[in-house]
Structure 1
């Protein structure tokens, strides 16, 4: 299989060529990345800009439930919340997507029909990614056929950490093909990659193979999303577009729970990749509890008072 980016068509010609390219990427200065992420996290945002940022963050949420106890009733309730996060306020925007397991895609597809809210499904033997490739491809096709228009796949971290980069590349290419018209988000599981250099390499590998988004985490491994890791990934998509002309999205997932956290990430996006990425088409939050805090802060700005956490439905 060959790379999907014409300007880099020879990079994945052989395992050796791909390894040479990935290990030739500039190294990441750990101290510098962490210091810059921490510094950007101190930026203050005034009231008008904060209101805009909260609505943008709501529009960027992939409202997610990935529990063994998920039921059709829970999914229908989640989809209703995705469509109308605050039923008392019709000016509140809908979220970007609902993300569920493949078995619950038909239920979500019916509940979201006509809403404009995307339907994402974790496939490819989430969260381990360790099933045989034909099983992962069948999982992907089934989710798309059932109505998913976005697939969140997990890479085989064992293969990546063993240096079998071409194997990981070809698996992503195969999953992308199985997606058909659905967008592909490639989960790196950065908490298992150990170094920022590996995060940068995995980001480029996923983009070279045709991923539409790169995503930090499954949410099942600690640490999940961090500002520093997301900064490295934002630098990667920025540099990838500069070299290839193709824009790729970024999705931090796991551990982002408060409005303050979300705004820090929006500042990271603006200051690192630029405002072209400040749109739900190019930046998402994978979250289950973030939305309620965004709604509470939104109500506070509008009314001057906080509503209690039980004012909004518990996801």
Structure 2
């Protein structure tokens, strides 16, 4: 029980009793007042540089991923339109991306029993370690929702910490699956526990099976990141993922990050958008 209290004590330092309707009202106000000022070509370029270009299909082959990577190599942007931040693939394709990649872009791999996170902790740790060994610079895992929903915060946090340790120098992104958590209060708690356990980024969704990213979830998660930094001095990143495909949608997430966290978070060191279709739409908007 003493160990469990450690995690409850961590949560008690933050305001987690938040109302969904209050978050919705705040988000609507931010977007109505700030969206237009951010809907610019300069913002589109910055967002493009924060994309984790993603291919997570059951039908992916080595050739598919090689060709996918070549498209990133062939990006014909200019000095003021940087390439995407990372290529995100299943862990068994990290080595393929590493072999094919010429561009200065990170390699991200999902791991840890993605997308359900329903497997043995030992398998999650081993999968993350193998992905890093194969060339992944970043690992995206899903929070153990079963542990979270039964309030088994000790095992939840220790599992994330173990995976973080095996990542060595690779960044760890923890996916909260906000569509399954549903409430703002749950999303805040999951955010704090993930950051407390060593997450370098917290991410909204897998895009597999549950509702994807929402502006309300983004606001809550960015608020958690801000409060965590205030209390610990540690800066963490935010990643929106799951169904974001239009330039307008992307600018809205950019606006939330800017208003809650500030301009210093608007780089791919701290802000990412996981997408497959968004990149082309952004390029068309820039042109």
**TM-score band (shorter)?**
over 0.9
Unaligned stretches of 5+ residues in structure 2: none
Deviation at 1:50, TM superposition (A): 0.7
**CA distance 1:185–1:44, shift in 2 (3 Å):** closer
Residue pair 2:35, 2:255 contacting (<8 A) in 1 also: no
Deviation at 1:223, TM superposition (A): 1.3
Deviation at 1:82, TM superposition (A): 2.5
Deviation at 1:162, TM superposition (A): 0.5
Distance 1:258 1:122 in 2: 23
Distance 2:37 2:195 in 1: 35
Instruction: State yes or no: 1:248 paired with 2:236.
Output: yes
Q: How does 1:216-227 map to 2 (within 5 A)?
A: 216-227=204-215
Distance 2:182 2:78 in 1: 44
Which residue of structure 1 aligns with residue 186 of structure 2? Answer: 198
Unaligned stretches of 5+ residues in structure 1: 1-11, 300-315
**CA distance 1:258–1:13, shift in 2 (3 Å):** farther
1:57-86, CA deviations, whole angstroms, 9 ceiling, x for partnerless residues? Answer: 10000000111101122212222222344x
Instruction: State yes or no: 1:207 paired with 2:198.
Output: no
Q: Give the SS at the match of 1:242.
A: helix
Given the alignment, which residue of 163, 169, 194 partners 1:181? 169
Which residue of structure 1 aligns with residue 3 of structure 2? Answer: 14
Residue pair 1:23, 1:201 contacting (<8 A) in 2 also: no
Given the alignment, which residue of 24, 28, 36 partners 1:45? 36
TM-score with structure 2 setting the length: 0.94
Distance 1:17 1:245 in 2: 20
Which residue of structure 1 aligns with residue 44 of structure 2? Answer: 54
Q: Give the SS at the match of 2:255.
A: helix
TM-score with structure 1 setting the length: 0.86
1:217-237, CA deviations, whole angstroms, 9 ceiling, x for partnerless residues? Answer: 111133110000000000000
Distance 2:19 2:281 in 1: 33
Distance 1:84 1:203 in 2: 36
Given the alignment, which residue of 280, 285, 288 partners 2:273? 285
Q: Give the SS at the match of 1:252.
A: strand
Which residue of structure 1 aligns with residue 131 of structure 2? Answer: 143
Residue pair 2:35, 2:251 contacting (<8 A) in 1 also: no
Which residue of structure 2 aligns with residue 4 of structure 1? Answer: none
**CA distance 1:13–1:273, shift in 2 (3 Å):** farther
Deviation at 1:22, TM superposition (A): 2.0
1:75-113, CA deviations, whole angstroms, 9 ceiling, x for partnerless residues? Answer: 12222222344x3x5454210000000111111011224
Q: Give the SS at the match of 2:40.
A: helix
**CA distance 1:58–1:13, shift in 2 (3 Å):** farther
The alignment covers a number of residue pairs equal to: 284
Q: Give the SS at the match of 1:229.
A: helix
Q: How does 1:73-84 map to 2 (within 5 A)?
A: 73-84=63-74
Instruction: State yes or no: 1:161 paired with 2:149.
Output: yes
Indicate the larger mover: 194-203 or 19-28.
Answer: 19-28
